[in-house]
Amino acid sequence: MPFVLALLLAGPLGLRTQGPLRELFLDVTGADARPIDRPELDVRWSMANTWNELMTLQRGQSFAFQELDDQADSLSVALKIPWRRRAWTSLEWKLTEHWGGWSDRPIEAWHSLIGSFNYQRAMSPRNRVRLLYEGDGGRAFAIDSPTLAPGDATVRTQVAVLEGEVAVAARFDLKLPIGSLSAAGGSGGIDAGAGVVATWPFASWGTLHALVAMSRFSPLSAPTLLQPKDWHFTFEASLEARIGETVVLLEDRVLSPLLAPGWERLPSGVGGDDALLSSGLYAGFRSHNQISAGVRRGRFSFWMSEDFTPGSNPHSVQQWLWVSNAPDIVLGLAFTQPL
């Protein structure tokens, strides 16, 4: 029994990439490639602070507008059920509160303490909510007061294909549109993804996990011309290190650009490169690299995530790095119970 419990509670953090836009669509998440033999209930809370100032985009004679400023607190529930020994299926659903929150001032204080660029946060009131996504053709959402957002349901199925020193499994995920786009809870369309996960326990204290996946997104149910790309890619690597009864996790998660190319950001007239860095251009039109650090103790896991995407960026003080601020920071806590 202790071995079974250890295996059930092992594995990567299983994090999605948060943010008001990314979370509208399917996110294929990492998992241990080894099969399980008992059901598992996972309940988690996470907080994501996002800040992007108003951005105007143009493509030909068409225009689109985007502004992302909120704290999103999400409560998600996932029930994982094994079947035929080598496979399991999980059903996941989340509920998100978009609101002003409490995290703006601590983030600005941290930026001030380390001498970091503050991304023009002082231009807007602290702890407010303002989510806007619209343009020629229609509006997806316009939120300026606390809003409870029911999310889409996600069904994930994993089948073991190789059991040995290195375990390999196939993943098939499907997102069903039961959420609300107007509340920034879901895209309003069906998304599907497939991938491969691998697990290698290279030492008694350490395990490596990896994920490679491809997804197909449906357009937003709103008729706005600013839409996601059709095809998307996910890459994830995770190190799980056991120190006594505590597990430390370090993870790197990369997603391909979210929005369809061809749009150009129009200068806002003030701020120059500071305004560019404070916009949602990077979050929407460049790859997103999320680095997470977590601790697991018993059935509880805690993590923090930041977005740092390496690459030449002549507009930034750090010219080898892209930072999207969507989200700026993520904190989360999960409780996992074998049944």
Computed over every residue of the chain, the mean pLDDT equals 93
**What single string gives the DSSP state of each residue in 144-168?**
-S-EEEEEEEEEEEEEEEE-SSSEE
CA distance 52 to 274: 12
- CA distances (Å), 325 to each of 176, 179, 215, 242, 306, in order? 28, 24, 24, 31, 9
pLDDT band of 269, cuts 50, 70, 90? low
| Largest interatomic CA distance in the chain | 65
The tens digit of pLDDT for each residue in 235-255 reads 999 999 999 999 999 999 999
- Domain coverage including residue 204: 2-338
Q: What is the pLDDT of residue 286?
A: 93
Residue 213: closest CA among 23, 16, 76, 10: 16
Beta-bridge partner residues of 130? 69
Q: CA-to-CA distance for 251 and 326, rounded, in angstroms?
A: 18
Mean pLDDT score, 287-312: 94
- Angle, CA of 267, 269 and 271, to the nearest 5°: 90
pTM of the model: 0.92
What pLDDT digit, counting tens, does each position of 134-183 carry?
A: 999 999 999 999 999 999 999 999 999 999 999 999 999 999 999 999 99
Instruction: Give the number of domains in the chain.
Output: 1
What's the CATH code of the domain at 17?
Answer: 2.40.160.40
CA distance 280 to 307: 13
